[in-house]
Each structure stands twice: as C-alpha cells, then as structure tokens.
Copies of this chain bind each other. A is one copy, B any other.
Amino acid sequence: MTRTVLIVDDESSIRDMIAIALEMADFQVLEADNAQRALALAVDERPDMILLDWMMPGISGVELARRLKREETTREIPVILLTAKGEEDNKVQGLEAGADDYITKPFSPRELIARMRAVLRRAAPASQGVIEVDGLSINTESQRISIDNQPIDMGPTEYRLLAFFMSHQERAYSRAQLLDQVWGASVYVEERTVDVHIRRLRKALGERHDYLIQTVRGTGYRFSRQRSRA
C-alpha cells in the first residue's frame, strides 16, 4: 500500500529534495511550509507519517509535534523530527514532545527512508492484524477477507481497495486519490476504472455488506458503517 507522508519545512529546497526522494520510493507526498498549514493538512488528509523540521519561524517543529499529539485525529500519526546536527538536548525535547524518532541533517535519502520504514513498522499495529466491521473482517497477515469467519474471495485489486478503505474509514476519497493510494502514484488508468472495481468489490461483499462502500456523489467513495439515509 502506498503511504502518504507530510513534509513540513520552511525551506522549499529541502522540501523538494525530500519529496523527490520519497516519491521515488513510492510514497505519496504532501508539503507544508509552516505549522498552520501543516496542522490543517494533517487533520484533513490524515497522512501516514509526518516529517517535521525542528527549526521553523513561528511555531517550531517541536511545538507542532506537541499539538499534533494533543489532537485526537492526529495523535496516532507518527512524527519524525529533522534537526540540525547534533545537539543532544534536541533528542530529549523532541522525543518528549511525542516525536517517534528524529534524524539529524545532513542525512542521506536512504537513511531517511530506512528510519521511516522502521517507524511505520512500529506504528503499524494500528493498521495491522485484524480490522472488523459488522462481521466483515480483514486479516492483513493472511491477506484474507472473511464474513462471519467465512473466507471470501476477491481479486488482488479489490483486496487492496478494501484494505485501504477499512484502515481509512469514514472519509471520502476521490477517484484520483484512490488511484494514488491503491494503484500507486505512478500508474495511469482512467478514473472510471475505480468505479468498476468498486462494483466488483461490492459484489464480493454481498448484499448484506455492500452498504459499507458508499458513493459520495460528485466526489468519490467512502467506507462507513453508518448507512446513509433510511
């Protein structure tokens, strides 16, 4: 699954450099040049991880980290702090603020990505293992979907689509976003293709559960246990 990363740094050159590296590693990238915008994006887009510059005019990285950890909706998102080289104090402060790791500039893309993966893995238990909604459960280890413990079959794409939805419930996604997240950022297919796979997924879920995949007219789709309308 493609992960979304929010990069927060006031220098655009650094943001761009990181963004390029991450995109090559098949991450989806969001950028913010200040804490305000970062906070908004974090709440709005729910990235899988945030890279945060330590030193920024206005609200500093640490302060932002602290706020992120206070917000209900962003608390679970892992944060990596980017700091100028080696003041030990930084580490302490940063980790106290709730950052999950920190890395000192200059760093190589490889190192950054290695750290990110490590952090994501640690954070994974949230999305790993089993998610269950109304008898429908997905087990990411066995890569299997079951309804009332009865395994059901679907194609790989439908599986990934459902996996994405179940770990991002209650939020509407556009076709373009779904293509990025489920198909991968570097694939080009028609947006309507999403519709077809949605259709296949609904069919696989059966009448009792297809209500979970909801159409958001004019926008895209959403996974939600709340039936809309009576």
Query: Which residues from chain A sit less than 8 Å from chain B, CB to CB?
Result: 13, 16-17, 19-20, 23, 111, 114-115, 117-118, 121, 139, 141-144, 150-153, 155-156, 170-172, 216-219, 222, 224, 226-230
A-B residue pairs in contact (CB < 8 Å), sample of 7: A13-B111, A16-B115, A141-B170, A141-B172, A142-B172, A143-B172, A151-B226
| Nearest B-chain residue to A24, judged by Cβ | B121
Q: Ordered nearest first, which 9 A-B pairs have the shortest CB separation?
A: A156-B218, A143-B172, A16-B118, A151-B228, A141-B171, A142-B170, A153-B229, A153-B228, A151-B226
- CB atoms of B142 and A20 under 8 A apart: no
Integer count of this chain's copies in the complex = 2
Contact residues in B for A226 (Cβ distance below 8 Å): 144, 151
Interface of A is mostly: mixed
Contact residues in B for A222 (Cβ distance below 8 Å): 142-144
**From residue A91, how far is it (CB to closest CB) to chain B in Å?**
11
- CB atoms of A155 and B217 under 8 A apart: yes
Contact residues in B for A230 (Cβ distance below 8 Å): 150
A20-B114, A23-B121 are known contacts; what are 10 more A-B pairs with Cβ within 8 Å?
A13-B111, A16-B114, A16-B118, A17-B114, A20-B117, A141-B172, A143-B219, A151-B227, A152-B228, A156-B219
- CB atoms of B151 and A19 under 8 A apart: no
